[in-house]
């Protein structure tokens, strides 16, 4: 109940976007059943939004520690390349293990730079953002690797009790991440570290391990997103897989109300933020407006949310809240 | 004309969120005088300076400089009007050269280009007046803090300052550097500049100032000529007569009898770190309060940080219950059931966004590790217990701790450590910046904790307070342990004497 | 001395790399390769000058690649469709970009927002605006373009110094003078040292921050003009990811990413090292293009680690100096509650 109340603005915004989508495209909310799965524009919103939703699950934790992970798009490309190159020769568990393991390694690398070498997060993750696509191309040898494995393809195009697999994976990861951070004290430690790292360390929290863990998780989430994206197009395109998606993930986290300075976070709001962005994309697409308008709308949303978060305006809102 | 004071302040007032930080303070600075502004922490010195120079807006009052009313709205405006402030943390840019720092924003130019050579030459000339001959083309950060201070003063004076406020400029200087600084101050005073000098070192007050103004709790207590203001009077005036003193009178005796009551919990042998703290020896026993006294920066907090593993010692060892124990970081300390409430509540203590409950369970949870979470019921129980026991207000466990008053934040931090059931608790300035009521409560609490068998090491600048609850008092000076008082020997004068004894008083140069 | 170390390392690296290439491919000893290196690096170099200013001032600008893209599209449409004379179109786009950067700077200053996110929004905005103008590549046939592409200075030994390379060198020179010898330049370093202290020292911080971002966008637009001159076309997809290349060049050139230290000589070397890697890969023929990304990443890591190491060292010695000078006390804020 509390969570719902805290997320009311985002939920309302999401519903408003859905309503707007319904207005521009009357069929928007129609969902029908075909070949054992759900179809429709609304389903598409969740399906297409899945990779960013997966990214945002990792990103929101990184941002909660006061960091940022610019490398998730590149990690997607690497993991997608790994998965696609193994898909036709190896069983699915091996493919998944290799792809997710690679992502985890990438995340650990970032975490190492931030937590141990104490490099600013933007700078530290920039390294993998630049080099990562090169690594992905190294794996694909510069080609677009395609595969035919139905097992892997199922993760992108299949459905479980009618729900598209990417959405199932998002829900699964959401539950897993929730269990991992809210079922344990990790969430508290992440929020404490992001809120005041010095004080947290003095209170006995291993802030270094916490930081390492969130970047590792972000790498893992990015790898899964990369696998889903590759499974969706039955191939890996090292150049374009996950391109600029790190920015969408950051946007989703910002929309979820997380402060970029660290502190409080909400996993489900981050996922909701990702779907909200996708709903805007889809709406613009359906309305017949040039899809490029998306970028402009995103820019406007980022600025609006940040303006609302800005300390100068926060001072004002605190004044308004005080009487209650 | 010469009768009008250089700077005249009347009825300066400022309150923050209902707390009167400055209540109608009057202040007068004459031409060519060095005027000490004194007061304990929370007396309102910083607020006075900030309000005077326009960094914070004043609620009421008036300021005249050379008979002209001024109301600067920023440090910049204030400097332009003629009042410049040099803070302890220098306030210049270490990455720029000395010359660039001196001339930032007003570099000599020709055709839009900065005349670097002229700028450096002028800088050298200006600094020569201060007896400073350094490479002005080198980054400021490559020089010792003392030099940086002189450069900051040179800049202020160069910006046509008539009144100069030096806010604890000597806190990080060695004796020789202080001597140099005093020479500069005297020379400036001779030129008719009025200097407000904020310091914690009483010797320096008597070595250089002409008059003294004392603030306490945001009010002007007294203004007197230094020559007619005996040291003991000054200390008494600064500390005031409050609850703490009354309690000290009634309670000192019974406490003194408890000495040696329990076995030693912690023993530090030659514990130190080069350039940080000279080796200290101390023991704290069960059911004992050991006070750590000294001026700000005397090595008290440094001792606490070494004991708690927040800083790694490079010599000596720690014994817990008689066994040598390695404490490499706060996590180790926590595992060995030590607790540490740091001095800087905001930066080192609370996590402002988190709730009172989350802040209280933080250390306990950290010791249990992330994968053995305290159940919500357990968290609520612990929080409710401590809110009741320590009377934390408002008694709302789910309120972000940042919204609580300083005293209640302090209590919540105490609760954080008490929840871990420590055997030794280090309290660094536990009563800093909190109101009188909460003050007394915390002192009462320290006693009851001690009676319950806890070993306590308490750091405080408030000597009256230390005398109240300590079984023994260790006195620090210049990052070294200089005395240990016990039994009936513990009183304010004895501590003061220990602090002042053979203090490296800056030898004033004959002007 | 230690602050010049990264530049020295970059210079040595470039010299060693160039020497190594020269032993493999004698062509590297001709002015033709030198001329090409300059021409190929021209457009990135111009962007990197702006990025250097921003980073020294303690900020970051992610929007420059998009501004380049927008500029090329705008020029193509303005010249080919709307019949605006090329020079007038240049003026319009430079002014627009300057305003755009100024707006970002104003947001960063007034609302105290992180530069990274504001310029990220700027990146979306500029890229989106470019796409809204046209989604495809538009060729530019204006006579000026043909004339300019033939303009070059012959170097002894068969090489050519093209106009674009000349513009880049000019931008580096002027930028260097501005950074090193004007009040604005001094303020840029000051801002990178500490925005707050700079303000307390009486410098108008706001207008300088606005100017820094305006300059960065302006130079990005200039780079866009150069890009469109080189390619004689405009496409909204041009210069995707250039902001990262520029940041990489700046860092490899020894500018501290946290601000306050660095310079344009280093950035020039950084751009040239990047170009050298590309050229070497082209000459080799067997190496694939992605190696340049990996090499850039490795260099980035090496230089950041170098910076981190030297900062940590400086910090340690600084702390020790202060500690031995006496007590360092953090002054507590006045109690407010």
Bridge partners for B20 per DSSP:
B15
B354/A191 Cβ within 8 A: yes
Interacting residues of A26 by C-beta distance below 8 A, sequence separation 6+: none
Residue found under tokens 């919500």: B376
Q: What is the pLDDT of residue A210?
A: 96
Rounded to a whole number, what is the distance in Å from the CA of C147 to chain A's nearest CA?
A: 34
Q: What is the pLDDT of residue C313?
A: 66
Dihedral angle sign, alpha carbons of residues B477, B483, B485, B491 = negative
d(CA C30, CA C34): 7
Highest mean pLDDT, choosing among A212-216, B161-165, B387-391, C145-149: A212-216
Does any domain span residue A316?
Answer: yes
- A27 close contact with B: CB closer than 8 A: no
- Domains of chain B, first to last: 7-238 (3.40.50.300), 243-337+422-500 (3.40.50.300), 349-421 (no CATH)
Dihedral angle sign, alpha carbons of residues C295, C298, C303, C304 = positive
Q: What is the pLDDT of residue B435?
A: 65
Q: Which two tokens stand for residue B54?
A: 């326009």
B340/A202 Cβ within 8 A: yes
Q: Scan residues 140-199 of A and list those with Cβ closer than 8 Å to B.
A: 183-186, 188-189, 191-192, 195-196, 198-199
Q: What is the pLDDT of residue A303?
A: 82
| Neighbors of chain C by Cβ distance (3+ pairs < 8 Å) | A, B
∠ CA B106-B109-B111 to the nearest 5 degrees? 140
The Cβ-side half-sphere exposure at B8, using a 13 Å CA radius, reads 9
Rounded to a whole number, what is the distance in Å from the CA of C186 to chain B's nearest CA?
A: 7
Does any domain span residue A288?
Answer: yes
∠ CA B305-B311-B314 to the nearest 5 degrees? 115
Q: Which of B90, B88, B85 is nearest to B163 (CA)?
A: B85
Residue A215 or C332, more confident: A215
Q: What is the pLDDT of residue B239?
A: 65
What single string gives the DSSP state of each residue in C185-215?
A: HHHHHHHHH-HHHHHHTT--HHHHHHHHHHH
Q: Which two tokens stand for residue A259?
A: 């402060």
User: How long is chain C?
Assistant: 337
Could you tell me what percent of chain C has a pLDDT over 70?
91
Selecting from C112, C290, C296 the residue whose C-beta is nearest the C-beta of A310 gives C112
What is the arithmetic mean of pLDDT over A100-124? Answer: 93
By the 8 A CB rule, do C66 and C217 touch? no
Q: Which of A193, C197, C168 is nearest to B76 (CA)?
A: C197
C335/B276 Cβ within 8 A: no
Does any domain span residue A54?
Answer: yes
Tell me the mean pLDDT per 10 residues along chain B, length 511: 78 81 89 88 81 87 89 83 82 89 86 87 88 87 84 84 85 76 90 88 84 87 86 71 46 46 86 88 91 80 93 92 92 94 89 94 94 94 92 89 86 93 91 70 83 90 82 86 84 78 45 35
Whether the pLDDT of residue A324 is over 60: the answer is no
Q: Which residue of A has its CA nearest to B419?
A: A203
Q: Scan residues 238-277 of C and list those with Cβ closer than 8 Å to A.
A: 244, 247-248, 251, 257-258
Rounded to a whole number, what is the distance in Å from the CA of B322 to chain C's nearest CA?
A: 32
Q: What is the pLDDT of residue B426?
A: 94
Q: Scan residues 250-269 of A and list those with Cβ closer than 8 Å to B.
A: 263-264
Other beta carbons within 10 Å of C9 = 18
Q: What is the pLDDT of residue B320?
A: 93
Question: What is the pairing mode between strands B424-428 and B455-459?
Answer: parallel
Q: Which of A115, A118, A129, A131 to mutate to test the interface with C (most CBs of C within 10 A)?
A: A131
Question: ipTM of this predicted complex?
Answer: 0.88
Q: Which of B492, B446, B43, B440 is nearest to B293 (CA)?
A: B492
Cα-trace Rg, chain C: 21
B478/C327 Cβ within 8 A: yes
Does any domain span residue A19?
Answer: no
Q: What is the pLDDT of residue B364?
A: 95
d(CA B434, CA B439): 6
Q: What is the pLDDT of residue A203?
A: 94
What is the arithmetic mean of pLDDT over A2-31? Answer: 82
Whether the pLDDT of residue C305 is over 80: the answer is yes
B362/A188 Cβ within 8 A: yes
Interacting residues of B162 by C-beta distance below 8 A, sequence separation 6+: B6, B65, B66, B82, B83, B192, B193, B194
Bridge partners for B164 per DSSP:
B84, B195
Q: What is the pLDDT of residue B350?
A: 93
- Give the tens place of pLDDT for each residue, A23-74: 888 888 888 888 878 888 889 899 999 999 999 999 999 999 999 999 999 9
Whether the pLDDT of residue C332 is over 70: the answer is no
- Give the tens place of pLDDT for each residue, A155-178: 988 888 889 999 999 999 999 999
- Domains of chain C, first to last: 2-319 (1.10.3470)
Helices (H) and strands (E) in chain A, counts: 15, 6
Is residue B27 classed as helix, strand or coil in its secondary structure?
Answer: strand
∠ CA A158-A160-A161 to the nearest 5 degrees? 130
- Give the tens place of pLDDT for each residue, A113-131: 999 988 889 888 988 988 8
Residue B448 or C46, more confident: C46
- Give the tens place of pLDDT for each residue, C190-242: 999 988 888 888 788 999 999 999 999 999 999 999 999 888 888 888 888 88
A119/C300 Cβ within 8 A: no
By the 8 A CB rule, do B265 and B235 touch? no
d(CA B397, CA B387): 8
Statement: the pTM of the whole predicted model exceeds 0.80? yes
What mean pLDDT value characterizes chain C? 84
d(CA C77, CA C71): 10
Q: Which of B115, B111, B150 is nearest to B132 (CA)?
A: B150
∠ CA B154-B63-B84 to the nearest 5 degrees? 10
User: How long is chain B?
Assistant: 511
Range of the domain at A175: 36-321
Does any domain span residue A26?
Answer: no
**In chain B, what residues touch A206 (CB-CB under 8 Å)?**
331, 366
| Neighbors of chain B by Cβ distance (3+ pairs < 8 Å) | A, C
Q: Which two tokens stand for residue B510?
A: 């004959």
Is residue A143 classed as helix, strand or coil in its secondary structure?
Answer: coil
What single string gives the DSSP state of each residue in C119-187?
A: HHHHHHHHHHHHHHH-SS-EE---HHHHHHHH-EEEPTTS-EEEHHHHHHHHHHHHHHHHHHHSHHHHH
d(CA A294, CA A280): 7
Q: Which of B133, B130, B131, B102 is nearest to B118 (CA)?
A: B102
Does any domain span residue A14?
Answer: no
Dihedral angle sign, alpha carbons of residues C301, C303, C306, C307 = negative
**In chain A, what residues touch B426 (CB-CB under 8 Å)?**
none
For residue B9, report the phi and psi dihedrals to the nearest 5 degrees.
-120, 130
Report CA-CA distances (Å) from B216 to B39, B59, B199, B351.
Answer: 6, 19, 15, 30
**In chain B, what residues touch C261 (CB-CB under 8 Å)?**
95
Other beta carbons within 10 Å of B246 = 13
Q: What is the pLDDT of residue B255?
A: 47
Bridge partners for B484 per DSSP:
B474
Q: What is the pLDDT of residue C316?
A: 52
d(CA A70, CA C121): 15
A255: DSSP letter: H
B349: DSSP letter: I
Question: What is the pairing mode between strands B424-428 and B338-341?
Answer: parallel
Compute the 3-state secondary structure of chain A and give helix, strand, coil in percent, each to the nearest 5: 75, 5, 25
Is residue A129 classed as helix, strand or coil in its secondary structure?
Answer: helix
What mean pLDDT value characterizes chain A? 88
Question: What is the pairing mode between strands C233-234 and B480-486?
Answer: unpaired
What is the arithmetic mean of pLDDT over A181-186? Answer: 94
Residue A18 or B297, more confident: A18
Rounded to a whole number, what is the distance in Å from the CA of B330 to chain C's nearest CA?
A: 20
Q: Predicted confidence band at C335 (pLDDT cuts at 50, 70, 90)? A: very low
User: How long is chain A?
Assistant: 324
By the 8 A CB rule, do B6 and B29 touch? yes
A200/B330 Cβ within 8 A: no
d(CA B260, CA B351): 37
**In chain C, what residues touch B44 (CB-CB under 8 Å)?**
334
Other beta carbons within 10 Å of B183 = 16
Does any domain span residue A31?
Answer: no
Does any domain span residue A280?
Answer: yes
d(CA B349, CA A202): 8
Structurally, chain A folds into a number of domains equal to 1
């Amino acid at each position: 109940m509390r969570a719902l109340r805290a997320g009311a603005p985002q939920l309302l915004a999401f519903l408003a976007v859905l309503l707007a989508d319904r207005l521009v495209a009357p069929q928007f909310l129609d969902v029908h059943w075909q070949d054992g799965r759900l179809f429709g524009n609304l389903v598409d919103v969740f399906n297409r939004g899945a990779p960013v939703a997966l990214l945002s699950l990792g990103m929101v934790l990184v941002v909660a520690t006061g960091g940022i992970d610019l490398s998730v798009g590149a990690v997607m490309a690497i993991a997608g390349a790994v998965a696609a190159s193994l898909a036709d020769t190896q069983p699915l568990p091996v493919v998944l293990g290799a792809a997710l393991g690679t992502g985890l390694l990438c995340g650990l690398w970032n975490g190492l730079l931030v937590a141990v070498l104490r490099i600013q997060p933007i700078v530290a993750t920039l390294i993998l953002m630049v080099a990562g696509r090169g690594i992905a191309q190294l794996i694909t040898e510069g080609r677009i690797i395609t595969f035919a494995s139905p097992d892997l393809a199922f993760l992108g195009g299949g459905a479980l009790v009618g729900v598209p697999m990417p959405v199932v994976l998002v829900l699964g990861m959401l539950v897993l991440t929730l269990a991992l951070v809210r079922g344990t004290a990790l969430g508290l430690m992440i929020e404490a570290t992001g809120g005041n790292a010095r004080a947290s360390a003095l209170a006995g929290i291993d802030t270094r391990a916490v930081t390492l863990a969130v970047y590792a998780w972000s790498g893992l989430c990015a790898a899964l997103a990369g696998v889903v994206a590759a499974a969706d197009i039955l191939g890996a395109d090292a150049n374009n897989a996950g391109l600029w998606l790190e920015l969408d993930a950051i946007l989703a986290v910002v929309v979820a109300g997380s402060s970029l300075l660290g502190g409080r976070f909400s996993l489900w709001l981050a996922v909701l933020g990702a779907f909200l962005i996708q709903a805007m994309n889809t709406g613009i697409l359906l309305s017949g407006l040039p899809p490029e308008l998306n970028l402009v709308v995103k820019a406007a949303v980022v600025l609006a949310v940040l303006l609302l978060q800005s300390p100068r305006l926060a001072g004002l809102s605190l004044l308004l809240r005080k009487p209650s | 004309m010469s009768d009008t004071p250089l700077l005249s302040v009347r009825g300066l007032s400022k309150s923050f969120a209902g707390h009167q930080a400055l209540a109608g303070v009057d202040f007068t600075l004459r031409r060519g005088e060095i005027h000490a502004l004194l007061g304990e922490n929370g007396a309102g010195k910083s607020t006075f300076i900030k309000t005077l120079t326009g960094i914070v807006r004043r609620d009421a009052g008036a300021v005249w400089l050379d008979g002209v009313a001024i109301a600067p709205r920023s440090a910049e405006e204030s400097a332009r009007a003629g009042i410049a402030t040099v803070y302890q943390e220098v306030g210049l840019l270490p990455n720029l050269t000395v010359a660039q720092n001196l001339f930032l924003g007003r570099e000599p130019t020709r055709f839009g280009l900065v005349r670097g050579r002229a700028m450096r030459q002028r800088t050298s000339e200006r600094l020569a007046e201060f007896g400073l001959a350094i490479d002005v083309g080198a980054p400021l950060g490559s020089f010792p803090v003392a030099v940086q201070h002189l450069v900051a003063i040179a800049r202020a004076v160069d910006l046509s300052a008539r009144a100069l406020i030096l806010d604890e400029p000597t806190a990080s200087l060695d004796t020789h550097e202080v001597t140099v600084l005093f020479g500069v101050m005297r020379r400036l005073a001779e030129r008719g500049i009025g200097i407000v000098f904020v310091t914690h070192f009483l010797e320096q007050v008597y070595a250089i100032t002409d008059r003294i103004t004392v603030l306490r709790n945001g009010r002007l207590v007294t203004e007197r000529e230094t020559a007619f203001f005996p040291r003991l009077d000054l200390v008494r005036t600064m500390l005031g007569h409050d609850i703490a003193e009354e309690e000290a009178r009634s309670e000192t005796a019974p406490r003194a009898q408890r000495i040696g009551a329990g076995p030693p919990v912690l023993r530090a042998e030659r514990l130190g770190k080069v350039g940080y703290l000279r080796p200290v020896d101390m023991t704290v026993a069960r059911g004992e309060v050991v006070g750590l006294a000294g001026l700000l920066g005397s090595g008290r907090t440094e001792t606490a940080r070494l004991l708690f593993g927040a800083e790694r010692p490079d010599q000596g060892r720690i014994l817990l219950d008689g066994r040598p124990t390695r404490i490499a970081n706060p996590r180790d300390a926590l595992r060995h059931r030590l607790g540490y409430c740091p001095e800087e509540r905001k930066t080192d203590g609370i996590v402002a966004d988190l709730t009172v409950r989350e802040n209280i369970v933080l250390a306990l949870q950290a010791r249990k590790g992330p994968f053995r979470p305290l159940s919500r019921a357990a968290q609520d129980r612990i929080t409710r217990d401590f809110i009741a026991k320590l009377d934390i207000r408002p008694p709302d466990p789910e309120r972000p701790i940042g919204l609580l008053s300083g005293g209640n934040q302090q209590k919540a931090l105490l609760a954080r450590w008490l929840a871990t059931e420590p055997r030794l608790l280090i309290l660094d300035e536990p009563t800093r910046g909190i109101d009188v009521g909460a003050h007394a409560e915390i002192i009462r609490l320290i006693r009851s904790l001690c009676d319950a068998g806890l070993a306590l090491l308490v750091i405080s600048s408030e000597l009256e307070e230390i005398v109240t609850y300590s079984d023994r008092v260790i006195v620090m000076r210049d990052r070294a342990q200089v005395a240990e008082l016990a039994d009936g020997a513990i009183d304010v004068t004895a501590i003061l004497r220990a602090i002042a004894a053979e203090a490296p008083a800056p030898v004033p140069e004959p002007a | 001395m230690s602050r010049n170390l990264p530049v020295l390392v970059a210079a040595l690296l470039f010299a060693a790399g160039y020497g190594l290439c020269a032993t493999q491919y004698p062509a590297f000893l001709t002015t033709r390769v030198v001329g090409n290196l300059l021409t190929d690096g021209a457009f990135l170099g111009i962007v990197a000058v702006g990025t250097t200013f921003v980073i020294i001032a303690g900020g970051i600008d992610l929007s420059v690649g998009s501004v380049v893209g927008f500029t090329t599209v705008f020029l193509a449409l303005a010249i080919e469709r709307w019949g605006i004379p090329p020079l007038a179109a240049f003026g319009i786009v430079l002014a627009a970009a300057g305003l755009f950067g100024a707006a970002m700077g104003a947001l960063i200053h007034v609302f105290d927002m992180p530069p990274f996110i504001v310029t990220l929004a700027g990146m979306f905005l500029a890229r989106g605006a470019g796409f809204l103008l046209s989604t495809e590549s538009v060729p530019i046939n204006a006579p000026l373009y043909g004339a300019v592409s033939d303009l070059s200075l012959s170097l002894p030994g068969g090489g050519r110094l093209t106009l674009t390379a000349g513009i880049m060198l000019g931008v580096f020179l002027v930028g260097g003078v501005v950074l090193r010898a004007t009040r604005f330049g001094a303020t840029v370093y000051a801002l990178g040292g500490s925005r707050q202290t700079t303000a307390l020292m009486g410098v108008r911080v706001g207008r300088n921050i606005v100017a820094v971002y305006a300059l960065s966008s302006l130079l990005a637009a200039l780079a866009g003009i150069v890009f469109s001159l080189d390619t004689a076309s405009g496409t909204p997809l041009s210069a995707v990811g250039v902001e990262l290349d520029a940041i990489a060049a700046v860092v490899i050139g020894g500018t501290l990413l946290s601000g306050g230290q660095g310079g344009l000589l280093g950035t020039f070397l950084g751009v040239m090292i990047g170009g050298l890697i590309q050229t070497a890969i082209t000459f080799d023929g067997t190496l694939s293009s992605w190696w340049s990304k990996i090499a850039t990443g490795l260099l980035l890591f090496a230089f950041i680690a170098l910076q981190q190491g030297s900062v940590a060292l400086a910090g340690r010695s600084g702390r020790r100096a202060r500690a031995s000078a006496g007590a360092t006390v953090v002054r507590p804020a006045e109690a407010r509650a």
